[in-house]
Copies of this chain bind each other. A is one copy, B any other.
């Protein structure tokens, strides 16, 4: 990387085993974890900043309670020693954590956002990133959502929920990219 380039941090949200709980519904984007692994690998190779966020649920029935096995990171997203790691108890990675202070101290102004799930913690965190003044890039194929039956009695698939949530974020809160596109941008900037 060229020094002086505003280095985008990879913000990896809640890639935890408990989100495979079948009670949460059928998910879209089964390739999300493989894409997250590719991005982590590229960020490590380029020595760009990485921030891992892990959900410590305080909900009685959540598989993400810290004492449960589902709290653990998925293999594809396990932090390496020395990588920055925040825990949170609500959806937004910016509430009750030191994330904003850390990014400002490090001079990090742009975030590449991946993880789970699109419409809950990823959307909440992307919205706050933008509203707090960070440049946010959302990697649509490195995030995923669960399907469910809505308040209106209609069944929505994970793919429908994912896509509409990304559409709602796009342009207003972030730029939407694929994993291939951001990898190309990183590589190009690094060469420059």
Interface residues of A (CB under 8 A from B): 90-92, 95, 119-120, 123-124, 127-128, 130-132, 140, 145, 148, 150-152, 154, 156, 160-161, 163-168, 170, 172-173, 176
- Whether A176 contacts B151 by the Cβ 8 Å rule is yes
A125 to chain B, nearest CB (A): 10
Instruction: Note all chain B residues with C-beta closer than 8 A to A128.
Output: 92, 95, 124, 128
A128 to chain B, nearest CB (A): 7
Instruction: Note all chain B residues with C-beta closer than 8 A to A164.
Output: 150, 156, 160-161, 164-165
A145–B172 alpha-carbon span in the complex (Å): 13
List 19 other contacts, CB 8 Å, given A92-B127, A120-B168, A154-B163: A90-B130, A90-B131, A91-B173, A92-B128, A92-B131, A95-B128, A95-B132, A120-B172, A124-B173, A128-B128, A148-B167, A150-B164, A151-B167, A151-B170, A151-B176, A161-B168, A164-B165, A165-B165, A165-B168
7 tightest A-B contacts by CB? A119-B168, A164-B164, A150-B167, A90-B131, A151-B176, A124-B127, A95-B131
14 A-B pairs with CB atoms under 8 Å apart are A90-B131, A91-B127, A91-B130, A91-B131, A92-B128, A124-B131, A140-B151, A145-B168, A150-B163, A150-B164, A150-B166, A151-B176, A156-B167, A161-B167
Closest B residue, CB atoms, query A133: B90
A5 to chain B, nearest CB (A): 26
